[in-house]
Copies of this chain bind each other. A is one copy, B any other.
Amino acid sequence: MQMNPRLSGLRCIRCDSLWPPADYPEGCPSCLEAGHPASLECRYELSADPAMPLPVLDPVTLGEGATPCLAAPALAQAEGVGRLWLKCESANPTGSHKDRMAAQLVSRARLAGATSVAAASSGNAGVSLAAYCAAARLEADIAITRDCPPLQREAMERFGARLRAFEDSLSRWPYIADLCRNHGAFAGTNYLNPPVGTHAYGVEGYKPIAQEIFDACGVPTDIVVPVARGDLFWGIFLGWRHLLQTGRIDRLPRMHAVEPYARLSRARASGDARKNWEGVTEQYSIAGSTCTLQSLEVLSRSGGSPVEISDAAAAQARQRLERMGFAAELSSAAALAAVSPLSRSGLLDAESSVVLLLTSDGRRG
């Protein structure tokens, strides 16, 4: 395990300033100072190596990645699109895409000399970080909400994490901020409000998804991703951009963001991702009142759209997937539910080739 010697720095996605390789859990220091939290993205020296560059080489692993990307011709026909694939991230070790981020982030924490990782999560991220911290022999402090599903909580505890419960989602962040700023913990999630994307080194872990989709089905026209604060959304985009920059593809797929109620569409309309937009949803993994600049950037740079999916529509989509043999948590099934509204608004049609991200099977819901 070592840091990638080709990692040359980080660049702000908002102000373009460059920063030397280091840990920036709060994103771009300049933009934070200006009151606009903004993600940093990793920069690497050019190389003839065709592999997707990642910050940590030979990271701690539990076997994450290389998940199935399955053609679903019957769904494509039913939805009136040309081709459709399901990218099944539940095949990851703890059952969600988060394992890809945890592998990089926890490895970096260990290389940086941290002894603990602190995170605010009542779901897949918390379980994943707990497992990877166990694998890396780091301590994990997870701030959960009181309504955290018992099986999620139990899974974190089995992996040895310390849990602390809070009344609601936003109240967890000051606790994590204190652990990270004052007690030497490494940040496993955002803790700012308004929020910023998770540590850039962690988000890089999602880039191989683009390569895996490309290997399975070329460049689709459209990719549909459930989005809360957009680490996965942004990470997959970075992967496609790498393929474009290295000349292996000649266009980017459009990337659409599925959300349970209007956050990104309002942020896009106002040009400001920093507000709170309350809503009620059972789509646990993409709930919350905030969004992030990085999600807006994916939409604008890829030409995609936000799509609001009701819990009822997501539940119906989940049942359709189950009757095809696929378990999916509600927020994952929402990706399927999004195909129809995207078609109605003219963004998808019989020429479209579409990949749906099934982020988790909801095994601990």
Chain A contact patch, size range: 20 to 34
Residue of B61, B68, B135, B158 near A93 (CB, 8 A) is B68
- A124 in the interface, Cβ–Cβ < 8 Å? no
Nearest Cβ on chain B to A332's Cβ, whole angstroms: 14
Q: Given A155-B327, A322-B158, A363-B363, does the pair A91, B94 have CB atoms closer than 8 Å?
A: no
Across the interface, do A70 and B66 meet the contact criterion of CB distance under 8 Å? no
- A275 in the interface, Cβ–Cβ < 8 Å? no
Q: Given A67-B63, A68-B93, A363-B364, does the pair A325, B88 have CB atoms closer than 8 Å?
A: no
- A284 in the interface, Cβ–Cβ < 8 Å? no
- A324 in the interface, Cβ–Cβ < 8 Å? yes
- Residues of chain A touching chain B, judged by Cβ–Cβ distance below 8 Å, are 61-63, 66-68, 70, 88, 90-95, 131-135, 155, 158-160, 322-327, 363-364
What are 23 A-B interface contacts by the 8 Å CB criterion?
A61-B68, A61-B70, A62-B68, A62-B70, A63-B70, A68-B93, A91-B93, A93-B326, A94-B327, A131-B325, A131-B327, A132-B325, A133-B325, A134-B322, A134-B324, A134-B325, A159-B322, A159-B325, A159-B327, A160-B322, A160-B323, A363-B363, A363-B364
Given contacts A159-B327, A363-B363, 4 further A-B contacts (CB under 8 A): A63-B91, A134-B324, A158-B327, A160-B323
